[in-house]
Chain A
Amino acid sequence: DAKTTQPNSMESNEEEPVHLPCNHSTISGTDYIHWYRQLPSQGPEYVIHGLTSNVNNRMASLAIAEDRKSSTLILHRATLRDAAVYYCILRDAINDMRFGAGTRLTVKP
Chain B
Amino acid sequence: DAMVIQNPRYQVTQFGKPVTLSCSQTLNHNVMYWYQQKSSQAPKLLFHYYDKDFNNEADTPDNFQSRRPNTSFCFLDIRSPGLGDAAMYLCATTSLRGYNEQFFGPGTRLTVL
Contact = CB atoms under 8 A, between A and B. Distances in A.
B90 A96 contact: no
A97 B97 CA distance: 9
B99 A43 contact: no
Nearest to B98: A93
Per DSSP, are chain A's interface residues mostly helix, strand or loop, or mixed? loop
Given A91-B98, A96-B48, A45 B104 contact: yes
Interface size class of chain B, counting residues whose CB lies under 8 Å from the partner chain: 10 to 19
B92 interface: yes
A46 B93 CA distance: 12
B51 interface: no
Interface residues of A, number: 22
Contact of B104 (A43, A94, A101): A43
A94 B98 contact: yes
B44 interface: yes
B92 A92 contact: no
23 contacts: A32-B99, A36-B102, A42-B106, A43-B4, A43-B92, A43-B104, A43-B106, A43-B107, A44-B104, A45-B104, A46-B101, A49-B99, A92-B98, A93-B97, A93-B98, A95-B98, A96-B33, A96-B45, A96-B97, A97-B33, A98-B45, A100-B42, A102-B42
Interface of A: 32, 36, 42-46, 49, 85, 87, 91-102
